[in-house]
Amino acid sequence: MRVDLLSGRLAILVGAIGVTVMGPAPIAAAEPASPMPPLQVPVDMADGLQRATVVLDSYSYTPHHLIVRAGKPVELLLTSITSITPHNFVLKDEAAGLSIERDVRAGKTVTVQFTPTKPGTYSFYCDKKLLFLPSHRDKGMEGTLEVR
């Protein structure tokens, strides 16, 4: 009987040491959220503008994929929700009528207007960086403008 009691205590002690050293069993990671679908930017019937708000956060744009019509003016409200980090919005392809580079200070909103002239897919991005660190674009702050 003494041997059974001793071996039971030993098993508990070994188990406790294992949990302490190894940590608790990992919990399965949640499935990653599905990516946000592209935003078909609506046309305002009152003024004919294709208008959308784009939120600039820590190394991301939301929405990150916009779909607009060629030949119709676009107005984007760029809103930074960061508290310290400044960002910008760069969209350049002069053959398509796209030449935008706007700074957006932390916590501020700016408006950009342009009229894309050529259907295609164009990247917009933030090229800000701190000294020798990678740019915000290198950290994933990039999106897509699809012109149809």
pLDDT at 90: 98
Percent of the chain with pLDDT over 90: 68
For 41, counting Cβ atoms within 10 Å of its Cβ (0-12 exposed, 13-18 middle, 19+ buried), the class is buried
The model's confidence at residue 109, banded by pLDDT at 50, 70 and 90, is very high
Which uninterrupted H or E stretch holds 20?
helix 2-22
* C-beta of residue 90 within 8 angstroms of C-beta of residue 100: yes
pLDDT tens across 112-122, in order? 999 999 999 99
Query: To the nearest whole number, what is the mean pLDDT of the chain?
Result: 84
Checking if the pLDDT of 4 tops 80, the result is: no
Rounded Cα gap, residues 105 and 85, in angstroms: 7
What is the distance between the alpha carbons of residues 26 and 82, in angstroms, rounded to a whole number?
32
Q: Which pLDDT score, from 0 to 100, does residue 19 have?
A: 40
Instruction: List, for residues 21-69, the tens digit of each pLDDT value.
Output: 444 444 444 444 557 889 999 999 999 999 999 999 989 999 999 999 9
Please check the confidence at residue 135 and state whether its pLDDT lies above 80.
yes
CA distance 97 to 112: 13
Give me the CATH topology for the region 39-147.
Immunoglobulin-like (2.60.40)
Q: Under a CB-based contact definition with an 8 Å cutoff, are residues 56 and 78 in contact?
A: yes
At 111, the pLDDT band (50, 70, 90 cuts) reads very high
